[in-house]
Chains A and B, each alone.
Chain A
Amino acid sequence: MARRDTSVPYQPQSRPEAVVSDTGERLDGRGLEEFRSAFLSPHALSQAAGSAYAECGKTKVMVGVYGPRQSARATAFSEQGRVQCDVKLASFATRQRRRFGQSTDERELSGLLATALEAAVLRHTFPKSCIDIYCLVLESGGSELTVAITAAAMAIADAGIAMADVVTACSVSRVAGQLLLDPTADEAFREDGSVLLAMMPAANLVTQLVVTGEWSSAQMKQALCLCMGGCLQLDAVTRKALASSEEQALAAMRIE
């Protein structure tokens, strides 16, 4: 039998050298501080307790939340419920076809997602139980984790699980000294530093901050301000989508 890899066509991994033009325009026509077009919709799966589908530019993510339910494996007693996250990149999500099984970057994404959400979910409301969050990245166009966090928070709210506030996330890449909001995969490839911020905008609390590279405090401040602005924009979209889905369900079941 032929080796599995032999049928994969050769694709030169040519990433563009310059991601920002002289006029300050990015490859996809955005300005430096402009967000990609976002689409968020709750209740995408019929079988899950709560679910959401999110698109940010080319990045497409589907999230299903199950529970709170008794955890399958026996664990020690805990007053606080557990939040289990599993991020999976579909084998067709990236340019190069992915191998079978969980990779190290998926494990890292799962861990980061769990930290970002644990602070928001009121875990004392479901002692001894756990919620399972399954997140599938259908297409990876850059900033998967931020989209996954936003979608997962929406799915948890859709499941009716108590949270302090919805969580939204946003990232900034630094390419050749310039700060790019919401980077695509091509832009992130050229970055020499990045900031990811997940926060609860209404409560004004940060749940997760991931920084790579060397930053001066002035530039860090600028990057954080950009991220917070992005999070606030996403928050408005999330709230609107959640409230309208809840309103519809109420109107359908109302009984005099």
Chain B
Amino acid sequence: MSTPMAAAAQHASGDRDSAAPGALPLSIYDLTVAYHSKPVLWDVSLDVPPGKLVGIVGPNGAGKSTLFKAVMELVPRASGRVLVFGKPYRQNRRRVGYVPQRESVDWDFPVSALDVVTMGLYGKIGWCLPVTRKYRQAAMKALERVGIADLAHRQISHLSGGQQQRTFLARALVQDADLYLMDEPFAAVDAATERVIVDILQELKSAGKTLMVIHHDLQTVVDYFDYVVLLNMRVVAAGTTAETFTSENLQKTYGGKLTLLDQATEAMRRSEGSR
């Protein structure tokens, strides 16, 4: 079932046991994830090169968010191995910044934009210790960077969708990570926010950071990303945008070529149900 591109990606992973300082930002080997014994990701293997702006593209339910969650050990892995800069995630957690989907939280929560950004620093502050001024200033700087410092003390439900997304981005920026996982940062944002986010992504990239961005708008993929991963329960193709983002690969990702996989899934579910 593996496509030439996915196979190439697998070959490229080469010798994988070296946890040298030059290790890849993210290496995934044979990752399978299932929710309620329904597989969401099957045998995903992926090597993400450093310093790239990587777009992750695929239809709804393709397992894009699950891929991020599996990398960060937020969902149990049925099988497979994930290395972040050559080590398991829990040993390199601080080098990873995460921007969850905006819809994943209740925006009526009684906190300000500054509070939310400060949450990115809780790990550094440590258990049971209060947020001191030093950390609030760092959070403020991140808000300035995304251009909404003037809204720092506004309760988050009084922010527009774009401003909420910028708040989440600032919370990831404040961690000063080396690998960023961003779950649909461009979803339902205004044009101004989109520009701000694109600028920041470019800035981070030129600072040598690696960025993985789940993206829905196929129109802008070529403009924004220099590397793409086409995902639909498995890696359909991965590589530079110029080589990988072809109509043939898109057809494979979005088209109806997954009947076999669907049947296997259905069969597994039935056997689970009959038990």
Q: Do A and B bind each other?
A: no
| Residues in chain B within 8 A of chain A (CB atoms) | none
